[in-house]
Amino acid sequence: MVATSGLALPRAAAPCPARTRAGLRPGFLRFVPPVALPPQQLRCCASTVDDGVVSAEASKPRHPRVVGMGSKLVGCGSAIPALSISNDNLSKIVETSDEWIAARTGIRNRRVLSGDETLRGLSIQAAQRALEMAQVKAEDVDLVLLCTSTPDDLFGGAAQVLTEVGCTNAFGFDITAACSGFIVGLITATRFIKGGGLRNVLVVGADALSKFVDWTDRGTCILFGDAAGAVLVQACNAAEDGLLGFCVKSDGNGQKHLNAVTSNDESILSNTNGVPGFPPKKATYSCIQMNGKEVFRFAVRCVPQSIEKALEEAGLPASSIDWLLLHQANQRIIDAAASRLDIPSDKVISNLANYGNTSAASIPLALDEAVRSGKVKTGDIIAASGFGAGLTWGSAIVKWG
């Protein structure tokens, strides 16, 4: 699609429960060795899909699984598309202006996939950069979590990402929680380390919402951009646990305020042989539908509450926060949450002006920039919070490094 301005547009595509810091009870902290299976039953344990015979050695764990461990963030990385779309560019497509967008959202530019770029490609780059910073080999990664609502493949992309990165010993799967996805993925990674005995978990947050934007709707097209970010979560002694507290929450009653639901096209076949309602009509996804006022009210109310709950679990006051890192959706939401928590603006991380709302990528993208610029240092305490479609929201109090 090309606008009259000549600008090429992206193609449209189809209260938390209380926990104790003590963790698991001692009786649950025993490692049970895997049961040895007869060689003829080990075919499913091969690291690649082929017709070869699998040896008993291939089924053995690479290292003993020790449960009850803590987690720490030891590396991060990010990747963005080459094409930058400014507010002035958008003003040639819809009735808007740079001043109007910036005043209401804080956004000046956003990055959008173009040409041969793919979300998988961005995810791979971000993952590789996180591993490089962490100085961890790809083959030492145990699990890859791809947090996205817009995979290149409807059936998920984690397996393709881990293969391209070279994580030959890792399992992977996708997590879909929209703009809360990265926080959900981060917490999930720590649970696999604590309860599953994994050592290295790669969490990738990536989204390309430009594929689901109605570029004639100035209420939504001004908001979204594409990006990927990643962190490497590593096992450590429980006493050094970098996840100090967290809170996650969902409320399906708010789905009507923010969604991209499926819709049905015409039937695939014209001849149904007299069977009513068959075959099912081809499904496609609608463009993003959002009630901005209701989402804003939800965010400024629930995000500070969520952070306060996570701080309560961590046993920390808000004054102990070195950095506030929220999902980059709207600068007014970020400012309102900081004010509610009494956190000064110089402790707030924001790159919203440059990238817009990149959904699950926004938190790791902003974190990566803050770490590489020297703003976030080892030992800093970060209050991170994601919120979005579902409705879902969650917060994590983490220590960097």
What distance in Å separates the CA atoms of residue 206 and residue 208, rounded to the nearest whole number? 7
Find how far residue 165's CA is from the centre of its chain.
18
Q: From the candidates 179, 221, 287, 302, which is the catalytic residue?
A: 179
* Spans of the chain below 50 pLDDT: 1-6, 14-15, 17-18, 20-32, 35, 37-47, 52-59
Tell me the pLDDT tens digit for each residue of 201-229: 999 999 999 999 999 999 999 999 999 99
Q: What is the CATH number of domain 70-254+289-400?
A: 3.40.47.10
Tell me the pLDDT tens digit for each residue of 86-119: 999 999 999 999 999 999 999 999 999 999 999 9
**Catalytic-residue membership of 357:** yes
pLDDT recorded at residue 271: 63
pLDDT recorded at residue 38: 47
Residues 6+ apart with CB under 8 A from 49: none
pTM of the model: 0.84
Q: From the candidates 87, 330, 354, 357, which is the catalytic residue?
A: 357
**Catalytic-residue membership of 45:** no
